[in-house]
Copies of this chain bind each other. A is one copy, B any other.
């Protein structure tokens, strides 16, 4: 079995791939669109991509592609705690330059300011790239902010542990696939994610769409608008709902259609905590 994921090795998505599919043949891709395309083209059986971070919000590249271009569904969601480490090739290294992704740098700002006030900061495309880059330049006075997995992957030492400012930092990852997989992980929830397109000629359409769930007591865990890319002020809506009562949810979906509200199923999935 082949599993595609957002690489390079040592990324958080790689960590999710290792923990979710320990025995599989795992294939890294350079960006989110390539991961999804690899799955669409049948190169892999499952694909893992980030969907939302608790601090930064939704990953638009993922949601826009799944809504506009893809005909595929999430079959599982993995929730991964995000913890950042300061890495270098050796513990007693002089550090003059620190590399990382802008979000990881923002998260580690307080620590860097307190301990390396004079270090230069360099932005990279991902935390894993930063780790790989400093591993490739072992003689330079470099450090990287990256996950534990990147330290293992590139043989780096952890200079400072868990330097992120906020402890409550999680990222949701989706596993795209044709059928559910029996993960050996802790299952904590069942959810359905929909992308709603509201008709122009239905006044209060969003309110009516939400009514369908509200009067049935179906819990919404997320609602977010994204531009339809047609005109300013035209959106589609991503709605995540609790799927504890499947019959009730299916009636709600039927009623949506009867109201003339189109939806695209983005996933019907179990949620696992890593």
Q: Is the interface of A mostly helix, strand, loop or mixed?
A: mixed
| Chain A 205-255 interface residues, beta-carbon cutoff 8 Å to B | 206-207, 210-211, 213-214, 217, 220-227, 229-235, 237
CA of A227 to CA of B153, assembled, Å: 31
A59 within 8 A of B: no
Stretch binding the partner chain, chosen from A1-9, A48-56, A127-135, A141-149: A48-56
Each complex incorporates copies of this chain amounting to 2
Q: Which residues of B contact A172 (CB under 8 A)?
A: 232
Task: Enumerate chain B residues within 8 angstroms of A227, measured Cβ to Cβ.
Answer: 52-57
A: contact size bracket: 35 or more
Q: Is there an interface contact between A220 and B206, defined as CB atoms closer than 8 Å?
A: yes
Q: Which residues of B contact A211 (CB under 8 A)?
A: 207
Q: What are 20 of the A-B contact pairs (CB < 8 Å)?
A: A52-B227, A52-B232, A54-B230, A54-B233, A55-B229, A56-B60, A57-B227, A168-B231, A204-B214, A206-B220, A207-B210, A207-B213, A207-B214, A210-B210, A221-B233, A222-B225, A222-B233, A222-B235, A224-B224, A225-B225
Please give 14 more A-B residue pairs, beta carbons under 8 A apart, in addition to A53-B227, A206-B223, A224-B225: A54-B232, A54-B234, A56-B227, A57-B60, A166-B229, A170-B231, A170-B232, A172-B232, A207-B211, A207-B214, A210-B210, A223-B225, A223-B237, A225-B225
Q: Which residues of A contact B (CB under 8 A)?
A: 52-57, 60, 79, 166, 168, 170, 172, 203-204, 206-207, 210-211, 213-214, 217, 220-227, 229-235, 237
